Structure 1
Amino acid sequence: MNRIDRLTGMILLLQSHRVITAEQIAEHYEMSVRTVYRDLAALGEAGVPIVAEAGVGYSLMRGYHMPPVMFTEHEASALFMSGEVTEQVADDSLRGALRSALLKIRAVLPKERQDQLNRLKNAVGVWLSSPRKDEEQRSIMPLQHAVIQRRCVSLAYNAGGRGDITSRTVEPLGMMFYAREWHLIAYCRLRSEFRDFRLDRIVRWEVLTEGFQGHEGFSVKTFLAENLDAHEIVPTTVLFGPAIMDRVRREMPCTCAPEQVQPDGRTRIELLAWSQEWLIGWLMSLGPQAVVEHPPAMRQRMREAALQMAALHA
């Protein structure tokens, strides 16, 4: 990125934050804090009204805005592709707002850029998973608003998918999409601890008028990392047949060691999955193309699972 583009982007970064530190700007652009200070000084000399508050950070003077920015061909294409991917993980409430926003962006593009996006739309498709049935849809946008407005949510939750429905009042703190599902991260008053609630296991919910305080230093990413670390992780070495390696790379959401191709064409991988139950089910779905090599206890559990499946189809 040349300096002109970086300075323009820095104004947009300041414009999109109420206040931001030099360290945050440096991290965003992957450069030194000293360079940030030089760029901020250059913007000030050029007439951009930057307000510096000692110990707090930098902001733009209230009321200052850059004129509309013209999207380049790559930027317009990137926005289109982001929208196509988000369509696959969003529900109707989020999908509608996304389409409306992209429509407004299209409206300010020149005719040439609009024609390029139309050609791209006809030439590109994104398919992450099979769509849910209407009755399985979960409304994401109201829960996002509950997180932002710090309002409590009442849940009827199917814990572990076992049919044991419990009523809870939670303090929503964030939402994450991982393992092919949306998750609500919240403080559960019933359990008196932070919990991870899968949206597909929420039987019903209601955003309450009651607000909540606290949890100011809570980080959703840190919580998930610590939550995964708290589970017993048993390294499992698996041999995968060449016919399923594309599927393995596409579906495997756990961490793994580098692949080792064997003389017989199979690939040995050491998996680190936080849920052994999930791993067994996933490996079973791969059939004889996946063979657990180590540890012996995992081989035994796979054998027992296979025998149970065979008995059901005797």
Structure 2
Amino acid sequence: MRLLYNGQTIDNLFAIVLFFYLCSVPMLVRANGDDGKLTIAMLHLELRYADLEHNAALVHKGIKLASKHNADWVMTPELSHTGYRFDLKLGTQWIPNGPDKYVGEVQALAKKHQLVVFLSHLERIDDSLGKRELFNTLFVIDRAGAIIGRHTKVNTIPISESWSTAGTKPSIVNVDGYKVGLLICADAWPATHADSLKNWGAELILSSASWAPGEYGPGNTWEKRSSETGLPIFVNNRTGIERQFDLRYAVSAVAYQGTRLLSHQSANSQLVIVNWNTKTNTLIDSQAMNIE
């Protein structure tokens, strides 16, 4: 049977197809549907100094546990596989070009469990001229296991982070329809980076951290940035003792409009589930559990 279409019919069909496509976009883009609920899992980990295999296993356990609790996104602390001063024990010559096998393992888990993972790990990039640079990187891995964005730490700390090349600016990545601003630890210290993210259209800010309390601790940094930008800030810190670096009282936090809405610290590895309403920018609830 032959079907004949005149110009008007084709226009009508196009309009119908376009209508249904546009109606479907929010469902495709906003993973949380119409209720605005976004479940973010923070891996508040007791990392073992310079022990990549142990720490990788811990991250994997955390991701699997987050999946059981229906997390949309999973965050990790800064340098989640190596620990902070890994270079003193391991050096840096072992770091391969490009995302390494540890990133690949997390990509596979993100795909298997259909999660978005914000993985803080190191990275080496070789350019066409043979120049090698090492970065403290926050990878964004989508539900297909693909790296859809990355942020390289801008405010690197002299001496303790001398192994890494500083990034030039903070980063924004579109994740599930949200414009997510990315920071790593001390990137939140000056107001400039968070302000840039706000000006570029960020809707929320996520930060990995390895930031101990004390004289050089974060203090009220996250509250100040959330007040200045009007954006909620989610910070995934860590716990444990690394050499003389005591992070047992370090805090993972959520701050908004100058107020810390959630503050978590623990001596052992715990998963922190944060249920957030993106429509009203309010904390629905939270819970913490051991990662074993």
TM-score when scaled to structure 1? 0.23
Structure with higher Rg: it is: 1
* More strand per residue: 2
* More helix per residue: 1
